Amino acid sequence: MIKVEKRNDISRSIYFLTPVLAIFLTLFGGGIIFFILGFNPIEALKFFFITPISDLYGLSELLVKATPLCLIAIGLSFCFKSNNWNIGAEGQLIFGGIVGGGVALLFYNHDGFYVLPIIILSGAFGGMLFAMIPAILKTYFNTNEILVSLMLVYVAKLLLDYLVVGPWSNPEGFNFPETRQFSESARMPILFDGLRIHAGIFITLITVFLSWLILYKTYLGFQIKVSGLSLKTAKYAGFKGKTMIIIVFMISGACAGLAGVGEITGPIGQLHRNISPDYGFTAIIVAFLGRLNPIGIIFASLIVALTYLGAETAQIFLQVPKYTGQVFQGMILFFLLGSDYLLFFKIKFLGLKKNEL
Amino acid sequence: MSFDLNFIGILIGAIMASSVPLILAASGELITERSGVLNLGVEGMMIIGAISGFALMVVTDNLFFAVVGSMLSGLIISLIFGLLTQSLLTNHVATGLALTIFGIGMSAMIGKNFVGIPGKEFPLLFVNLKESIPFLGPVFFGHSIILYFAFGLPFLTNYFLKKTKTGLIIRAVGDSPTSASNQGINVTLVRYSCILYGGAMCGLAGAYLSLIYTPQWIENMTGGRGWIALALVVFATWSPIKVLIGALIFGGITILQLHMQAVGLRIPVQLLSALPYIMTIIVLVVISRDSRKIKLNTPTSLGQIFYKEK
């Protein structure tokens, strides 16, 4: 006999344990999929989750991928906590990259310590501006932010494509769809010789700290949380809903913009068509997996970054497409959302009592 | 380039063809949303339909199996969404996003061995009429059976929702699940059925792309059409007939954009390609501006979780 009972209050330990359960279920589900595809599931999972981080280079790559994921997810947590569904972070990332990249090209062959900070700030600004479009349309025209922010992803992608093919393409580049390589002064400093890990990780860590400060220690953070729990209460308390919506979108756009500019000044070093392997979408999963909590998001970004690396390794060793990573990412979110059921309901396994027989 | 009537007829025929996947997916999603469920996984269900339709066509060499199979696989993948949102009471938005991400990944995984295989010719109906009647011929004839089905679907859906008892039940569940439940309606069952129907239609929409519209398998070949279909449902303020009109407008922009590129206008290709997306945003703004009008038509419980205490 199984009996389901509604819980009266949410257990905090279960709240942070269900993501772990979700990860294990994903490994199990992934094993089954690999088995169906005709691989030895244990071997395949090893290629996916252990081989990529078994050396120093792999660990550095893990951090290189986690850096933008964590940054975007932190920004998204502001939106999601207040029930604003910004799912266009990918577009904000790309637009931030475009603005930052434009400034970097402007400072081509220009030395000076101020070059990189200006580029980074303009990237954040670009992302912020782009995120304000769905925010303003939502607040003043009542438009669905999910659809608008998503449509803008396609617009940003096409704009980037136009720029790197046309006006910004490298004059000495034999018509390749890419800009010049940025000057040394416009590049993120590399932390260790021979590895790709760059100073962007500090931007991410600072942002994590700041967002913790905002979310848990300021009035704005309080407003965000209350609006997320109950819009009616927020209105009753007299919070200015419109301003808050615009602010959370600005924060999340700025974070995505920073991630974009971090990518182009960090590992990429120029603008081309594919500056992001869908980090903006994957970060949505990171935000949920991390329970919209700054510390949780750090761990979640490392785990999801591993699915990227795993997909690359599996592509080489098992000849499966790199999209396999997305299968795992989708599964993590499915299992995570599903296991939330345990938060709200108790499942009791009851043996049949003698007098019932 | 000649602007004779026949050419315009061919153009209209092309616009109709490009609107078919949008009509199918949006009509399916409309029923789902009318029951109060917001499934953002349309893109994922479409792409799964596209690959399974194509794969089945290659494997079985039978187009009927391919089409039915694509609908079944759309249905199966939407069952994941149903299980999560209806039985495990998860958030609709997040679950739908997961479905899209999962669907795109899964389709690429299945489709690995089907890249570069040429498609099979899909039988078109009344081809001789298409060629013998100027203007009207290319508009009305020489299409696949799925196109005719798609153009009838919004009218059927409209009749179904407004005139049948089942349609009434679906609308009641969408507008007030609690009172529907008190009337003895099994809300969860109704919503499950609507989700599965939406999934099957999205699967068919995907199969139209991979079997008829561009008969081959390309990774990510739905290219955002699922999201446009979602926008169309809002555009249509949940009315099936307006879905048809909206889909034709979007189909029109797509075809117009291709022709403008072919003519060689001095407009960047990318700007033209961005037109459908920019138009979607503009249309959404125009439609949503009047919040009362939107509220009047939106299923009241859209996207909300329904839980019945036992």
Nearest beta carbon to residue B89 from set A37, A142, A341: A341
Please classify residue A211 by burial: count the beta carbons closer than 10 Å to its beta carbon, then call 0-12 exposed, 13-18 middle and 19+ buried. Answer: buried
CATH of the domain at A289: 1.10.3470
CB-side neighbour CA atoms (13 Å) of B61: 0
Inter-chain residue contact B106 with A330, CB threshold 8 Å? yes
B280 to chain A: which residues are within 8 Å by CB? 147, 151
Residue A357 lies in a domain: no
Mutate to test the interface with A, among B83, B92, B97, B275 (most CBs of A within 10 A): B97
In a domain, B309, yes or no: no
How many angstroms separate the CA of residue A259 from the nearest CA in chain B? 21
Split into its structural domains, chain B has a count of 1
What are the chain B neighbours of A137 within 8 Å (beta carbons)? Answer: 281, 284-285
Which positions ≥6 away from B78 have C-beta within 8 Å? B39, B41, B45, B99, B195, B196, B198, B199, B200, B202
Closest by CA to B216, choosing from B109, B110, B118, is: B118
Averaged pLDDT of chain B: 89
Yes or no, beta carbons of A162 and B268 under 8 Å apart? yes
What is the full per-residue pLDDT of chain A (357 aa) written as tens digits?
567 777 777 777 888 888 999 999 999 999 998 898 888 999 989 988 998 999 999 999 999 999 999 999 999 999 999 889 999 999 999 999 999 999 999 998 888 899 999 999 999 999 999 999 999 999 999 888 988 999 999 999 999 999 999 899 998 888 889 999 999 899 999 998 889 999 999 999 999 999 999 999 998 898 888 887 776 777 777 777 788 899 999 999 999 999 999 999 999 999 999 999 999 999 999 999 998 999 999 999 999 999 999 998 988 888 888 888 899 999 999 999 998 888 777 776 655 555 544
The phi and psi torsions of B300 (rounded to 5 degrees) equal -60, -35
Let me know if residue B310 belongs to a domain. Answer: no
CA atoms of B156 and B116, how far apart (whole Å): 37
Across the interface, whether the CB atoms of B109 and A337 are under 8 A apart is answered no
User: Which residues in chain B are closer than 8 Å to A145, comparing Cβ atoms?
Assistant: none
CA distance A341 to A15: 10
Question: Could you give the 3-state DSSP secondary structure of residue B307?
Answer: coil
CB A324 within 8 A of CB A45: no
What local confidence, expressed as pLDDT, does residue B2 receive? 47
Local confidence band at B1 (pLDDT 50, 70, 90 cut-offs): very low
Residues in chain B with CB shorter than 8 Å from the CB of A334 are 80, 84, 95, 98-99, 102
Across the interface, whether the CB atoms of A158 and B97 are under 8 A apart is answered no
Asked if A147's CB is within 8 angstroms of B280's CB, the reply is yes
* For residues B112-132, average pLDDT: 82
Q: Which of A152, A326, A340 sits opposite B90 (nearest CB)?
A: A340
- A150–B contact, CB cutoff 8 A: yes
> What is the ipTM, given to two decimal places?
0.88
> What's the number of domains chain A is made of?
1
> Could you tell me the residue range of the domain that residue A92 belongs to?
2-352
Say whether A331 and B268 touch across the interface (CB within 8 A): no
Return d(Cα B103, Cα B116) in angstroms, integer.
Answer: 20
Does residue A48 fall inside a structural domain? yes
Query: Token match 């959404």: residue?
Result: B284
Is the Cβ pair A324, B40 closer than 8 Å?
A: no
Show the CA angle centred on residue A344, arms to residues A342 and A349, nearest 5°: 50
Residue B232 contacts by C-beta under 8 Å, 6 or more apart in sequence? B22, B26, B243, B246, B247, B250
Which residues of chain A make contact with B273, given a CB cutoff of 8 A? 158
**C-alpha to C-alpha distance for A224 and A247, rounded to whole angstroms:** 10
Residues of B (2-61) whose Cβ lies below 8 Å from A = 40
* Domain of residue B116, residue span: 5-297
Q: Which of residues 13-52 of A touch B (CB under 8 A)?
A: 33, 37
- Contact yes or no for B93 and A146 at CB 8 A: yes
Look at B98 and A337 and tell me if their CB atoms are within 8 Å: yes
Which positions ≥6 away from A271 have C-beta within 8 Å?
A97, A98, A101, A105, A160, A163, A164, A168, A178, A179, A264
Give per-residue pLDDT as tens, B29-66: 999 999 999 999 999 999 999 999 999 999 998 999 99
Question: For the domain that residue B89 is a member of, what is the CATH number?
Answer: 1.10.3470
Query: Rounded to an integer, what distance in angstroms lies between the CA atom of residue A186 and that of residue A329?
Result: 33
Beta-ladder partners of A347: A4
Q: Evaluate if residue B3 carries a pLDDT over 60.
A: no
Considering only CB atoms, which chain B residues are within 8 Å of A26?
none
Q: What is the pLDDT of residues B149-189, one digit of tens each?
A: 999 999 999 999 999 999 999 999 999 999 999 999 999 99
A292 contact B CB<8A: no
User: Are B285 and A161 within 8 A, CB to CB?
Assistant: no
- Side-chain half-sphere exposure of B208, counting CA atoms within 13 A: 27
Assigned token pair, B10: 């061919």
**Is residue A77 situated within a structural domain?**
yes
Say yes or no: A10 contacts chain B, CB-CB below 8 A: no
- Give A188→chain B minimum CA distance, Å: 30
Is the CB of A189 inside 8 Å of chain B's CB atoms?
A: no
Q: Is residue A344 within 8 Å of A7, Cβ to Cβ?
A: yes
C-alpha to C-alpha distance for B16 and B147, rounded to whole angstroms? 8
Q: Does A333 reside within a domain?
A: yes
**Partner A, chain B 250-269, Cβ-Cβ below 8 Å:** 268-269
Cβ distance B284 to A326 less than 8 Å, yes or no, reads no
A146: contact with B, CB 8 A cutoff: yes
Strand partners, A346: A5
Backbone CA torsion sign across B245, B247, B250, B252: negative
